[in-house]
Amino acid sequence: MELKIELTRQPKEKPADENKLSFGHIFTDHMFVMDWDKEHGWHDAKIVPFAPILMSPAATCLHYGQEVFEGMKAYRTESGEIRLFRPQENFRRMNESHDRICIPKFDEAFLLEALKKLIEIDADWVPHTYGTSLYIRPFTIGTEESLGAHSSTKYKFLIIMSPSGAYYEGGLAPVKIYVETKYVRATPGGTGFAKTGGNYAASLKAQDVAAEEGYSQVLWLDGVHRKYVEEVGAMNVFFVLGDEIVTPELDGSILSGITRKSAVEILRSWGYKVSERALDIQELVDAYHAGTLKEAFGTGTAAVISPIGELKYNDLVMEINHNEIGEISQRLYDELTGIQWGKVEDRFNWIVKVK
């Protein structure tokens, strides 16, 4: 497929202070757009100036939730090189999300090349300060003008990009987590493994309740037994139990995180015993009382590693590692961010250079 390019004639001013970048409010000069219909399949791929899109109020994505997204980052090294972290994994997962909610699949290799071209054009938007990055948001939406509750017959695939600040402005810091017992995020047979809008809409209520109680995220339990640990907020979760590191297995209701997968590979390469298995919340409580719950942390693209300092389950407040960053959490954070920003050798070949 050909990739058409239309450059902006009105470049925007870039953010003056990279230390004051927040997340997801500023957008670069260009975006990628591609359309799908039954006659042409995916077609008309182009890079155009970032601009609002004109949408029918009857567009299916506004009613029936056919929307899928991904999140990744471009990092600038000290030498000025721009690089991506395992982007193939994002496009592969995006196609799996597409499949679950009946959006046609796309050519992953073509999209990676289109993304590299888009970043090349907007290269000056990749911030220079260590810890900052260019956040990349590919997403697909159903755009047929129809109120029939069926799969859309038209789609748009877009990539927009946003320079983003360092997640931890004052360095890595532990968070307080609330174990959610009322609301459910996902269930086997549902859409939990897909990055689709409905999963996020479903999670907002619990997040609001947790925030009111002073907790920054919720720990989700499974929807069937209401006892197996699933995710923490929008991150995967790991627990150090004695000399075993446990993360919930991918059972269909958990997102297959790329940071999760990378963490498992790094930890195993260091000789740790990592188990992907069912983890009963009662096992965590027992380990806490026995003194073997040593560390806990979330993994995700935004925070990379998010150490958990406190876990509240019903009336029990469990302080973990004296509410300090654990040794494994810190080492993993340094290794992953080191690979991403080019300070540590890329021994797994995870980096894709933009140019």
- Residues of this chain that interact with a copy of itself (CB under 8 A) are 23-25, 27, 31, 50, 52-58, 61-67, 69, 100-102, 135, 137, 139, 141, 145-151, 158, 160, 162, 182-191, 196-202, 204-205, 207-208, 223-224, 226, 234
CB of 347 to a copy of itself, least distance (A): 31
- Residue 73 CB, shortest distance to a copy of itself, in Å, is 12
- Pick 235 or 332: Cβ nearer a copy of itself: 235
Q: Residue 349: which region, alpha, beta or left (left: phi > 0; alpha: psi -120 to 50)?
A: left
Alpha-carbon distances, residue 91 vs 48, 68, 121, 150, 191 (angstroms)? 21, 11, 20, 25, 17
Closest contact distance (angstroms) between CB of 147 and a copy of itself is 3
* CA–CA gap between residue 5 and residue 238 (Å, rounded): 43
Report, in Å, the least distance between residue 85 CB and a copy of itself: 18
H-type alpha helices, 194-241? 197-212
Q: Which is nearer to a copy of itself, 303 or 339 (CB)?
A: 303
Q: Which is nearer to a copy of itself, 82 or 136 (CB)?
A: 136
Find, among 279, 160, 158, 172, the residue nearest to 229 by Cα. Answer: 279
State in angstroms the smallest separation of the CB of 182 from a copy of itself: 6
Contacts of 142 (CB under 8 A, 6+ apart): 59, 60, 61, 64, 66, 67, 103, 151, 152, 154, 155
Residue 281 vs 293, nearer CB to a copy of itself = 281
Please give the C-alpha separations between residue 174 and each of 203, 239, 250, in angstroms, as whole numbers: 22, 14, 25
Among residues 15 and 65, whose Cβ is nearest to a copy of itself? 65
Nearer to a copy of itself among residue 148 and residue 338 (C-beta): 148
The b-or-e profile of 218-237 (16+ CB within 10 A means b, else e) is bbbbbbeeeebbbbbbbbbb
- Residue closer to a copy of itself by CB (options 106, 350) is 106
Tell me if 303 sits within 8 A of 166, measured CB to CB. no
The nearer residue to a copy of itself, 27 or 106, going by C-beta atoms, is: 27
| Angstrom distance (rounded) from CA 333 to CA 341 | 12
For residue 244, the minimal CB distance to a copy of itself (Å) is 29
CB of 258 to a copy of itself, least distance (A): 17
Nearer to a copy of itself, 69 or 130 (CB): 69
CB 311 within 8 A of CB 298: no
Q: CB of residue 232 vs a copy of itself: minimum separation in angstroms?
A: 13
Half-sphere exposure (Cβ direction) of 307: Cα atoms closer than 13 Å: 24
Nearest approach, Cβ of 344 to a copy of itself (angstroms)? 28
- Mention every residue, 6+ apart, whose C-beta is less than 8 A from residue 158: 31, 32, 33, 34, 138, 139, 140, 141
